[in-house]
C-alpha cells in the first residue's frame, strides 16, 4: 500500500450466497490495496471466515442476518468505511476479480481529475465477463448531442473518459459525495441500484469517469450473457427478472433521465422481454414475474418482492 493511499481507501464487498472460493480470492486480492476491508453479508457469506487465509486478514465482517438488498448493504458498508476515516470507497460484488493495482490506479485517476478541477463522484474500470474464453469488453456509455455513444478500449483515444453510468463492482467513490446525502436507494433492492445513483449524482452536476486502462473480470449474471444488437442479455432467475423490469420502469419514470436514455432503455426493455422468453429455462415463471415487475414499476412499488399468500413461484 502506498503512503498516498494509507488511511484513505476502503473496499466494501457485498456477499449473498457466494461461491466461497471466488469470494475468498476477491477478499485476498483487495487486502493489500486498501486500508479498510469490509464484507457485508446479505446472507450465506459467513462460511468464508472458516478459511485460515481469510481469518488472518484484517477484515471487518458485518452480518445483516438476512438479505436487506444491495442498496442497504452498500450504505451499511459505506457508513462503516467512513467511520474509519475512508475518503474513497471501492464497491464490489462478490463475483469480481480485480487486478492487483485496481484501487491504486483508480485513486490516481481521482487525483488527476481533482487536479484538473473536475468534481468527480466516482471512477470505474472497464470490465469483461471473467467466465468467457475470449475477453469481450462491456462499453462505457455517454449521451452526446442526444445520442448514446459507446466507448470501448480499442476505439477510444482518451483513456480516462466521462461516462453516464458505472456498474457497482469496481467503482471507486469519493466518500464526501455519499456523506453529502447521496446514499444508495434501498427501495430498489438490487437492479438499477448503481444506475439510479449514477444518474442522481450527475443530475446534481458531478461527473463520472471510466478508466479504459484498468480492466476487471466480473460475472454479472448466473451464466455468460447472450449478445444481440449490441445488448447483453443476462440469464437470471424469475425473481431477478421481476426486480429488473420493476426497477427499469421505475427508473424511466424519473425526471432526471433524458429522452435519449429513455428511448434506449425503453426499447431495450421491450427487446429483453422477448429475448428472455427464449433464453430462460423457466419461461412461464419468467413471463409472470416480468409482467408483475412492469406493473409494480408503474405503481412505484419498492422494497423486496413479497408474493401474495398462496400465489406463484419467484
What are the structural domain ranges in the chain? 9-218, 226-298
Whether the per-residue pLDDT at 2 is higher than 90: the answer is no
Predicted pLDDT of residue 47? 87
Strand 171-174 relative to strand 88-93, pairing: antiparallel
- Do 94 and 45 meet the contact criterion of CB atoms below 8 Å apart? yes
Predicted pLDDT of residue 3? 42
Mean pLDDT of 183-187: 96
Whether the per-residue pLDDT at 65 is higher than 50: the answer is yes
Whether the per-residue pLDDT at 313 is higher than 70: the answer is no
Whether the per-residue pLDDT at 49 is higher than 90: the answer is no
Predicted model pTM: 0.89
Strand 160-162 relative to strand 171-174, pairing: unpaired
| Residues 9-218, CATH architecture | Alpha-Beta Complex (3.90)
Q: In what order do the strands lie in the sheet with 120-129?
A: 59-63, 36-41, 9-15, 88-93, 171-174, 120-129, 207-218, 160-162
Q: Which three cell numbers stand for residue 190?
A: 438490487
Average pLDDT, the chain: 88
Instruction: Please enumerate in sequence order all residues whose Cβ is within 8 A of that of 67, keeping only pairs 6 or more positions apart, or say none.
Output: 16, 42, 43, 304
Whether the per-residue pLDDT at 7 is higher than 60: the answer is no
- Residue 157's CB is within 10 A of a number of other CB atoms, namely 7
Angle separating helix axes 283-298 and 238-252, nearest 10 degrees: 30
Amino acid at each position: 500500500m502506498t503512503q498516498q493511499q494509507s488511511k484513505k481507501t476502503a473496499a466494501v464487498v457485498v456477499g449473498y450466497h457466494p461461491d466461497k472460493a471466488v469470494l475468498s480470492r476477491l477478499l485476498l486480492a483487495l487486502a493489500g490495496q486498501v486500508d479498510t476491508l469490509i464484507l457485508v453479508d446479505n446472507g450465506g457469506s459467513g462460511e468464508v471466515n472458516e478459511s485460515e487465509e481469510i481469518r488472518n486478514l484484517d477484515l471487518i465482517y458485518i452480518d445483516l442476518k438476512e438479505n436487506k438488498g444491495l442498496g442497504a448493504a452498500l450504505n451499511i458498508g459505506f457508513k462503516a468505511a467512513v467511520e474509519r476515516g475512508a475518503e474513497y470507497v471501492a464497491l464490489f460484488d462478490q463475483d469480481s476479480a480485480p487486478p492487483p493495482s485496481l484501487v491504486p490506479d483508480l485513486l490516481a485517476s481521482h487525483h488527476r481529475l481533482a487536479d484538473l478541477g473536475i468534481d468527480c463522484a466516482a471512477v470505474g474500470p472497464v470490465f469483461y465477463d471473467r467466465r468467457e474464453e475470449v475477453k469481450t469488453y462491456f462499453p462505457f456509455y455517454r449521451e452526446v448531442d442526444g445520442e448514446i455513444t459507446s466507448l470501448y478500449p480499442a476505439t477510444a483515444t482518451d483513456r480516462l473518459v466521462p461516462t453516464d453510468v458505472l456498474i457497482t463492482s469496481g467503482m471507486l467513490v469519493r466518500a464526501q459525495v455519499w456523506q453529502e446525502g447521496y446514499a444508495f436507494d434501498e427501495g430498489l433492492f438490487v437492479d438499477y441500484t448503481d444506475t439510479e445513483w449514477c444518474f442522481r449524482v450527475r443530475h446534481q452536476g458531478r461527473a463520472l469517469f471510466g478508466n479504459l486502462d484498468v480492466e476487471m473480470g466480473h460475472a454479472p449474471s448466473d451464466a455468460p450473457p447472450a449478445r444481440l444488437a449490441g445488448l447483453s442479455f443476462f440469464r437470471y432467475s424469475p425473481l431477478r427478472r421481476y426486480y429488473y423490469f420493476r426497477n427499469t420502469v421505475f427508473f424511466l419514470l424519473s425526471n432526471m433521465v433524458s429522452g435519449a436514455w429513455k428511448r434506449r432503455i425503453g426499447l431495450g426493455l421491450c427487446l429483453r422481454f422477448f429475448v428472455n422468453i427464449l433464453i430462460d429455462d423457466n419461461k412461464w415463471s419468467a413471463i409472470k414475474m416480468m409482467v408483475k415487475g412492469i406493473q409494480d414499476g408503474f405503481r412505484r412499488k419498492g422494497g423486496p418482492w413479497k408474493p401474495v399468500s398462496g400465489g406463484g413461484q419467484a
